[in-house]
Amino acid sequence: MEWPVFVVCLVFNSLAVSAEPAVYKNPIEIYSLHVDCKVTSRFAHTVITSRVVNRANESKEALFEVELPKTAFITDFSMTIDGVSYPGIIKEKKSAQDQYDAAVSRGQSAGLVKSAGRKLEQFHVSVNVAPAAKVNFELIYEELLKRKLGKYELLIKVKPKQLVNHFQIDTHIFEPQGIRFLESQSTFMTNELNDALTKTQGDTKAHISFKPTINQQRKNPGSEETLLDGDFVIRYDVNRSLAAGDVQIVNGYFVHYFAPNQMPAFPKNVIFVIDKSGSMSGKKIQQTREALEKILEDLYPEDHFNLVVFSARVAEWQPVLLKATEENVERAKQYVRTIFAQGGTNINGALLTAMHSLDKATSAEILPEESVSMIMLLTDGQPTVGETDIAKIQENIKGANNGKYFLYCLGFGFDVSYSFLEKMALDNGGIARRIYEDSDAALQLQGFYQEVATPILKGIEMKYPDHVQEITQNTFNVLFDGSEIVVAGKLDNDIEVFPVNIKAQANGFNLTLQKDENVMEKEQVFQDLKYIFGKFTERLWAYLTIQQLLEKSVSAKEQEQKSLEAQALNLSLKFSFVTPLTSMVVTKPDAQEVANKPTEADNESFEDDIPQSGAMMYQLQSSRSRSSKRPASRPHGQPGLSGPPPENPSHHMASPYDYSYGGKHFVPGMRLSSPLRKNANSVRISHPHFIVQLPRGNDAICLEVNGQSQTPLNLLSDPVKGIQVTGKLETRKHFEQFEIVYQKPDVRIDVSTQEIVLHLNGNTALLSWKSNATFPMTGLNIAVEEEKSLSLMGADNISIKISYVRLPERFLGLYITDGANFSEQVTGLLGQFYSNTHFEGKHGDASTIIAQGQRHMSTRQNKKDYRVESSADNLSCWLVKLKL
């Protein structure tokens, strides 16, 4: 789950050109804005009230936007225009949609308001305001705050976009357990604004108020620009002990919070399953490597771990899980640095490999008897290799796991099918989370790991008297340090004593906790109405029940799913919650609008439409713009393509390689030029990018790469031999830069047409093309032949040679001798041709080359051989064009 947040972003502006004097930069003036938030025992009730007036001499449109947490449910909205109230009515989603469609068919202006984004949803409504008319807006939403990493957080995003005469944020917090700490901060706070902030805190109550005057809001003295643009954050936690948690009772409903502290942690057995397919190239794989290095450092010495990387093929870093010693962690970090993206997406094979690895380790008694085993999957795409039917994959993984291991699925970006990952995770005791393609993606990955890094209890059962009714989920597989279990239910009217019994398995002992609560004493705690709102425990119970019913429906079979959704719908309507099953119909003087609550799965395949800020808004549809629809999500199992479809779609569907640049998928060898040359003598003979000398005879394959310039390309990766080669195409479509990494010794060589730079043990050595040079070291010999070549000879007798070519223009040509010495795990644009390569169906000058299961059309052509000094020497080779 994301951090629980409260976000308020209010924008009022004119959508028409104003003819008013310059003093009225925005004729729609916000003269009052009040955010009132009451947090009672983690359940938050927020009321946003805004009053605006049209200062212009003509009608203007006022736009009301509020950003609120994804986990919140809107419960009420109303507009009051010159004393006439227009309420929002919550209905079943289909009924609301029918009402909207009927308004459109009558030619009325109607709108469909939806929202999506990273942490936030955006409620958006506009209304036409007559000259001098006033409008009051009021929005109410509720949310149960989730504890994460030992704290609750309220984030109020302040962005009124204009000076406001009466601006105030009030946050009241009441926690009967006692407030352990409370802090606040702001991204826009100045010394002047500090004077507008007041904070009072007692044992169980706190009040934070932010009330800046209009002068304090000014960006500069006399300016009409506002300083109020940024985040206002409140964090707190409550007192805890090893007792049986805290029970609170109001109006016949109870809520039970359980989060023991100072508990010993279980050792973890964790396998990181990392997608390195082509679509992960560039920033994604870089951020993944960064995050993995930090995560590996955070493993505890008693933990066991392994890495499974996959594209079309699946590879385990080690044959068995290793203990997280300092030495093993460092070895793993070195391996992580060699992970580069290329190939297809074999999710089924990767997860089955991880589960088999845990099975082997369990059978061999390698793992601690008292431990928690988990698999963390990171992928950014649809399955394209092996089993591609997502329903079958879900069935395979659930069957192989059989409840033994927790599966956490992290979906990187918006091409991934979140609904596929969510069901698979929930089927296997875990959760799914989307990782957003922002600059902090590595921190998002680390943050999620930290949430599940410290399991303290497993097999938790919360027991209550038999006559307690309608209890929410009360059994839990695992509890992590810093999180919290919440259970709610309904009590009989005549109950006086409420017994609580908790059983769980801790590290080294069985935990049993018992507690008897006096119902009357508990109800007395909530007599201070200033800090509570109505029957908050009943609403909290309904909120929690709806969330859990919707979650269970994700992995339920069709008939059970309908039953669960029907129960959730009835509760949503009864308690007036806008949930994924309901909508709010907003009636305006001249139209109706419908506010829907989206799910994370609604974001699928919408990457290009999501602003990088992490919050977005769907614009209102109307009878004038109904054709503006979002793209439909792709069929399951089919990767996305940029530009026109391939000439032969079947090549794409069967291809185990889908390289990616800028988040888009491409398949090499798909769009090929005509395989037959009409007149070989009329073709200009040019240098190929790469030459692969075949092991038998003197035959060779010439490779030409057609891709984006300046994009790092994974040319060769062999994790067994510890070699990684990347390169960049220049604008002239030659290679002028290579980066070669050897794991043993730990050295990186950056090669360009200007210089050769060695990076070894934190030191740098510079070699020049202008003179002969040798640089021997243990496991690697480096030699430069003046303006001719660079030779790298490794311990495995794999020689990488780079030719320095001066005519017709300077570029670098890379080739490899003794390519048969690579392991079967070698991959890459160039590397794929050094493992299991054979010809199929030679017909004169045309043939098909099969490399690691990938089919490439090839033609016999003459090319210049950059391996020899004489430019007159030509090479007859099989030309393969890799079009990315």
**How confident is the model at residue 783, as a pLDDT?**
87
In 10 A of CB 628, how many CB atoms? 10
CA-to-CA distance for 500 and 288, rounded, in angstroms? Answer: 44
pLDDT at 173: 93
**Distance separating alpha carbons of residues 735 and 751, to the nearest angstrom:** 10
Weakest mean pLDDT among 104-113, 259-268, 871-880? 104-113
Read off the DSSP letter of residue 836: S
Instruction: Please report which confidence band the pLDDT of residue 444 belongs to, taking 50, 70 and 90 as the band edges.
Output: confident
Which residues are CB-neighbours of 139 under 8 A, at least 6 positions away?
Answer: 47, 48, 66, 74, 76, 77, 123
CA distance readout (Å), 867 to 548, 801, 870? 66, 9, 9
Is residue 7 a contact partner of residue 157, using CB atoms and an 8 Å limit? Answer: yes
Q: Indicate if the pLDDT at residue 789 is higher than 50.
A: yes
What is the C-alpha to C-alpha distance for residues 728 and 213, in angstroms, rounded to an integer? 56
pLDDT at position 39 over 60: yes
pLDDT at 870 (0 to 100): 57
Tell me the pLDDT tens digit for each residue of 587-605. 777 666 677 776 666 555 4
Alpha-carbon span 64 to 126, nearest angstrom? 6
Question: Which among 244-253, 680-689, 764-773, 872-881 has the top mean pLDDT?
Answer: 244-253
Distance of CA 298 to the CA centre of its chain: 21
Provide the pLDDT for residue 154: 83
How many whole angstroms separate alpha carbon 77 and alpha carbon 584? Answer: 9
3-state secondary structure 328-348: HHHHHHHHHCCCCCCCCCCHH
Give CA torsion, residues 570, 574, 577, 581, to 10 deg. 20
The two three-digit tokens of residue 129, written as one number: 């305001």
Residues 6+ positions from 852 with CB-CB distance below 8 Å = 312, 313, 656, 827, 832, 835, 836, 837
Here the tokens at position 762 are: 């934190």
CA atoms within a 13 Å half-sphere pointing along the CA-CB vector of 59: 6
**CA dist., res. 252 & res. 538, Å (int):** 8
150 and 482 Cβ atoms separated by less than 8 Å: yes
547 pLDDT band (50/70/90 cuts)? Answer: very high
Task: For residue range 16-25, list pLDDT tens digits in order.
Answer: 223 333 344 5
Quote the CA–CA distance of 277 and 464 in Å, as a whole number.
Answer: 49
**Where is pLDDT greater, at 528 or 622?**
528
CA distance 44 to 42: 6
Cis peptide bond upstream of 808, omega within 30: yes
Residues 854, 840 contacting (CB under 8 angstroms): no
Q: Whole-angstrom Cα distance, residue 581 to residue 575? A: 13
Rounded to the nearest integer, the mean pLDDT of the chain is 80
Considering only residues 683 and 735, tell me which one the structure prediction assigns the higher pLDDT: 735
Confidence at residue 482, expressed as pLDDT on a 0 to 100 scale: 92
DSSP 742-756: ETTTTEEEEEESS-E
Q: pLDDT tens-digit profile of 557-579?
A: 888 999 999 999 999 999 999 88
pLDDT for 155: 79
- Cα 849 to chain centroid distance, Å, stands at 38
Give SS3 for 649. Answer: helix
Range list of β-strands (E), 690-845: 690-693, 700-706, 712-718, 723-729, 735-742, 747-752, 756-760, 763-767, 773-777, 780-785, 789-794, 799-805, 811-817, 837-843
Contacts of 433 (CB under 8 A, 6+ apart): 1, 408, 409, 410, 411, 448
pLDDT, residue 107, reads 52
Percent of the chain with pLDDT over 90: 35
Of 50-54, 692-696, 754-758, which range is least confident? Answer: 692-696
What integer pLDDT is reported at residue 671 of this predicted model? 28
Tokens of 196: 């507008």
Tokens 């704290």 found at: 151
- Asked if residues 281 and 661 have their Cβ atoms less than 8 Å apart, the reply is yes
Torsion over CA: 825, 830, 834, 836 (sign): positive
pLDDT of residue 6 exceeding 80, the answer is no
Structure tokens at 792: 């790298």
* Mean pLDDT calculated for residue range 172-196: 88
Q: CA-to-CA distance for 50 and 165, rounded, in angstroms?
A: 11
Per-residue pLDDT for 486 more than 70? yes
Tell me: pLDDT of 623 over 50.
no
* Summary count for the chain: helices (H), strands (E): 13, 50
pLDDT at 17: 27
Q: At a CB cut-off of 8 Å and minimum separation 6, what does 477 contact?
A: 406, 429, 458, 459, 460
Tokens describing residue 551: 């979650």
CB 831 within 8 A of CB 718: yes
Q: How far is 657 from 412, CA to CA, in rounded Å?
A: 19
Average pLDDT rounded to a whole number, residues 714-721:
88
Tokens of 807: 């005519």
Give the residue among 541, 600, 538 at the shortest CA–CA distance from 120: 600
Q: What is the mean pLDDT of residues 44-62?
A: 90
Confidence of residue 531 (pLDDT cuts 50, 70, 90): low
What is residue 422's three-state secondary structure? Answer: helix
The partner residues of 174 in beta bridges, in order of sequence, read 40, 205
Tokens of 561: 């799913």
Is a pLDDT exceeding 90 seen at residue 477? yes
pLDDT over 70 percentage in the chain:
81
3 state DSSP class of 157: strand
pLDDT of residue 4: 38
Residue 185 identity: Q
Q: What is the pLDDT of residues 366-423, one digit of tens each?
A: 899 889 999 999 998 788 889 989 999 999 999 999 999 999 999 888 777 888 999 9
Q: What is the 3-state secondary structure (H, E, C) of 236-288?
A: EEECCCCCCCEEEEECCEEEEEECCCCCCCCCEEEEEEEECCHHHCCHHHHHH
* DSSP code for 183: E
Rounded to whole angstroms, the Cα distance separating 201 from 197 reads 13
Q: What is the mean pLDDT of residues 838-852?
A: 80
Q: Which residues contact 371 (CB under 8 A, 6 or more apart)?
A: 266, 267, 268, 269, 304
What is the chain's length? 884
- Could you tell me which residues are beta bridge partners of residue 307? 272
Query: For the chain, which domains are there?
Result: 28-239+575-605 (2.60.40), 268-453 (3.40.50.410), 671-883 (no CATH)
| Residue 435 pLDDT greater than 60, yes or no | yes
Is 776 within 8 Å of 725 (Cβ atoms)? no
Task: Tell me the mean pLDDT in the region 245-257.
Answer: 91
β-pairing, 372-379 with 406-412?
parallel
Peptide bond into 745 cis (omega under 30): yes
Q: CB 82: neighbour CB atoms within 10 A?
A: 12
Considering 185-189, 277-281, 352-356, 384-388, the range whose residues carry the highest mean pLDDT is: 352-356
* Strand 690-693 with 811-817, pairing: parallel
pLDDT at 617 over 70: no
- Output the pLDDT for position 682: 39
Judge whether residue 585 has pLDDT over 60.
Answer: yes
Cβ–Cβ < 8 Å for 792, 762: no
Residue 708's alpha-carbon distances to 343, 662, 810, 883, in angstroms, are: 17, 10, 19, 10
DSSP-derived secondary structure letter, 151: B
The angle at the Cα of 114, spanning 126 to 552, to the nearest 5 degrees, equals: 150
The per-residue pLDDT for 481 is 93
Tell me the residue type at 866: Y
Q: Which residue has the tokens 């409008």?
A: 135
- Say what the pLDDT of residue 655 is: 32
